[in-house]
Amino acid sequence: MLLGIDPLLTADLLHALRAMGHGDAIAIVDANFPATANTRRLVVLPGCDASAMLRAILSVLPVDDFIAHPLTTMQVVGDPDAVPPAVAEFRMIAGEAGMGSVERHEFYRLTREAFAIVQTGDRRLYANVIVTKGVIRA
């Protein structure tokens, strides 16, 4: 345990977050997501939900303010304007950070390009979000 660090941020996850550079992305995905098939670096944390993980990661990771949508979610198949409960919660957690959405296969492509994937035990549908890392200014 470390002071001031959310206990959901394991050593492996903190290592990945620290190793990321500006513009690198990390995906937080639900239990149904095909994570192993879509990444080189996988951190599996089945004991938490995606919202708690997003909150923990955003407590230490700056989001990219050079792009319009540093957070990206997956659109509902057949209803791209729908806002699933998990996505509504992500929006509240993200606050002022811009959030966009893409269709399912584009989301899969983006996760394959991500630095790492964190797979949670979240069983809510569409509990998936990609966060692009920003910079810490002096």
CB of 38 within 8 A of CB of 138? no
Of 6, 65, 69, 108, the catalytic one is 108
pLDDT in tens, 27-83: 999 999 999 999 999 999 999 999 999 999 999 999 999 999 999 999 999 999 999
What pLDDT score was predicted for residue 2? Answer: 82
Of 22, 69, 81, 126, the catalytic one is 22
pLDDT in tens, 78-120: 999 999 999 999 999 999 899 999 999 999 999 999 999 999 9
What pLDDT score was predicted for residue 60? Answer: 97
What pLDDT score was predicted for residue 96? Answer: 86
Mean pLDDT value of segment 129-137: 96
Of 64, 65, 81, 126, the catalytic one is 64
Strands 116-120 and 25-29: parallel
Q: What DSSP line would sit under 16-30, residue for residue?
A: HHHH--TT-EEEEE-
Tokens of 112: 């394959």
Annotated active-site residue 65? The verdict is no
For the cut 90, the answer to whether the pLDDT of residue 138 exceeds it is no
CA–CA distance, 17 with 119 (Å, rounded to integer): 15
Annotated active-site residue 6? The verdict is no
Architecture of domain 49-138: 3-Layer(aba) Sandwich (3.40)
Annotated active-site residue 22? The verdict is yes
Is the entire prediction scored with pTM above 0.85? Answer: yes
Residues 6+ apart with CB under 8 A from 106: none
For the cut 80, the answer to whether the pLDDT of residue 16 exceeds it is yes
